[in-house]
Structure 1
């Protein structure tokens, strides 16, 4: 019997508090301007990495390991290898919204480099955290960008099965906390955003 089960049964631990932090537009504006290639000399395309997280719902480790061979533009998606699930890691096919596809297509293909975003996830995390501190963006984590993608898709009127095909969630219950965003009028908070790679 798992120790975690016994601890929950004895009420030594409980369910972790669900985090619902969403980035504000001004926060992402400041971060993307901070990572402008003209301002920062870096081999990591941090602007596109951040944008890809927002519009694909991928974790930073996944972004940094996605391969060109696993991208299928005709099918509109990508194979994410060893995707994290509660008890295992599984190769998982996910759909990509149009802005995420546009971001992939504008990446240069370097000879001998199989990855689309060839960078170290820990370095991405450090750069992101440092920029947030320098810019006064409080309590924003890279993983919040993944949550933003799910929130955005529900606001755009997508249903749970369609959103799950993007996020890769096997259990729809995990996405239930976002479903309130799909009620009422359809709204795309990024539709007129200057950083949007493509309409759609």
Structure 2
């Protein structure tokens, strides 16, 4: 159905037909607006005859989510975490809605409800995944949705970048407490995180064959971006590998044969152990060690390209989010230069 209205001296024509995104355009004359509206109506109605819009009544949001889980999520490195997010979606009432009833308003209400329970960052990731799912459904599965129902849903304001760095004595306390744990891998994993800036998953995926002692470099085979990278090792990182290297290592064997969940649980237990003397350490996340490492690289005088080579960041803007230089340290440099 077409509607015309005069606005600010121009005629605006808008065409709305079920199963298609609304279309609008402005003209200087009413005649041109009417002509354009008739033409668009004809095109949309003709295409509607070729598309089975009844499939939207027969397909629920749950159907789309489960198909995405089977065909897309299963091939991702972050399959486990994405499955948890999908499980959360399937507990919502709107998953039983047919696609013909799904609108931006449904997900706007979901956004507002979630914001009362979780952080804006979590909600942004939820909405991003849902938008991707519907985009795949439209472009690859030919579901005749007029538009992505998430396209017009406003995202919450991006939370301020986390600026947590190691305070004086925290690293020493953590490493010292590692002497009392039953495993022998937690201490070197923490040390490598601070010395290399590698993510937890990257550390756990490294094999002995990825280490080149002659050049003091390490190949990181599996990364978040999907692009392997080779990084230089600090003296501290090289010493860590040297201290745990078997006499005759299997080049195909992983340096740490441990699961991410085991590292997470041991990390939390270690923090609780140290918290008796340093209560603030309960706020420290393992990923903060990556922030610490990147900041230290800049403090060493490395350039942005050099730090990006080590950290794997492709976008300098993201690299700066991981960089937390201390104002007092920069001030000391300024005074020494003067």
Q: What TM-score do you get using the length of structure 2 for normalisation?
A: 0.48
- The runs of 5 or more residues in structure 2 that have no matched partner are 1-127, 136-147, 276-280, 334-338
Residue 289 of structure 2 corresponds to residue 145 of structure 1? yes
Residue 281 of structure 2 corresponds to residue 134 of structure 1? no
- Name whichever of 14-23 and 158-167 sits farther off: 14-23
- Name whichever of 139-148 and 73-82 sits farther off: 73-82
State the 1:141 CA deviation: 0.5
Name the CA shift for 1:128/1:15 in 2 (closer, same or farther; >3 Å).
Answer: same
Name the CA shift for 1:9/1:176 in 2 (closer, same or farther; >3 Å).
Answer: farther
Distance 2:319 2:331 in 1: 18
Higher helix proportion (structure 1 or 2): 2
Q: Could you say which structure has the larger radius of gyration?
A: 2
Which of the residues 213, 223, 234 maps onto 1:83? Answer: 223
Distance 2:234 2:214 in 1: 13
Aligned to 1:30: 173
Alpha-carbon contact 2:165-2:289 (below 8 Å) kept = yes
Aligned to 2:262: 123
Alpha-carbon contact 1:79-1:94 (below 8 Å) kept = yes
Q: What TM-score do you get using the length of structure 1 for normalisation?
A: 0.77
Distance 1:111 1:103 in 2: 15
- The runs of 5 or more residues in structure 1 that have no matched partner are 187-200
Structure 1 residue matching 2:228: 3-state secondary structure: strand
Q: Deviations over 1:85-139 (max 9, x none)?
A: 2xxx222222222211221122132755712233222111111112112322221
Give the RMSD, CA atoms, in angstroms. 2.7
Aligned to 1:191: none
Residue 181 of structure 2 corresponds to residue 40 of structure 1? yes
Greater RCO, CA 8 A, separation 6+? 1
Aligned to 1:94: 231
